[in-house]
Amino acid sequence: MVQLLTKTKTRYDNSLAFTEAVSVCDLKKTKLLVKKNSPSVIATALFDSPTDCSAILEVLVEHSDQETIQRALKQDKFDKQPRVLRLLLAKCDPEADDAELVELLRDVCDVSSVAFAMETAAFVDQTPMIGLLRDKCDTRGKRNAAARAKAAGHDGIVQLLKSKRARVK
């Protein structure tokens, strides 16, 4: 019984120490403790973290669980930070069964976050992502994404972005 209480206390201390490390932007401690916490604790820290620590946000997005993020976004209990949503949207892959999460994030994100994600998708040749984000993006974002795709040599994406109707294969 003593061991059980000790384990519970250790788990509580890990999540508390992890939350404190994220709030004070301690990258080394965050990287160490992120593996010892549950996906729900990581998702909570992700949406509650300060937005000026981009390295910590990237670590949290890297270790976040898609299902937990999806539940958190549907519950609408977090303060949705555009920078966090932008990183999550750029991480998603619609070909790997993330299409539902991409659509959910697309509806929650602002236009500039969608434009950033579309530029990233154009650069790495993610045609399904372009198809999902194309409707929500403004003309300027489409132009910037087309320029990034052209620079990367993805002519199919350039044609897709410049056409009137989406033709995703």
| For the chain, domain boundaries | 1-76, 80-169
Residues in the chain: 169
Question: What is each CA distance from 58 to 61, 83, 99, 127, in whole angstroms?
Answer: 5, 10, 21, 24
* Whether 46 contacts 84, CB under 8 Å: yes
Sign of the C-alpha dihedral computed for residues 68, 73, 78 and 83 taken in this order: positive
CB 47 within 8 A of CB 76: no
Structure tokens at 156: 């199919």
Q: What is the DSSP string of 101-124?
A: HHHHHHHHS-HHHHHHHHHHHHHT
Q: What are phi and psi of 149, to 5 degrees?
A: -65, -40
Question: pLDDT (tens digit, 0 to 9) for every residue of the chain, 169 residues total?
Answer: 455 544 555 445 788 889 899 989 999 999 999 988 888 888 888 877 776 788 888 898 888 877 777 777 776 555 556 777 777 777 777 677 677 778 888 887 888 888 888 888 888 888 888 888 888 888 899 999 999 999 999 999 999 888 876 555 5
Q: The whole model's pTM is what?
A: 0.63
Report the distance separating Cα 163 and Cα 161, nearest Å: 6
Print burial letters for 22-31: b (CB count within 10 Å at least 16), e (below 16).
Answer: beebbeebbe
Q: How far is 115 from 113, CA to CA, in rounded Å?
A: 5
Q: HSE-up of 164 (CA within 13 Å, CB side)? A: 0
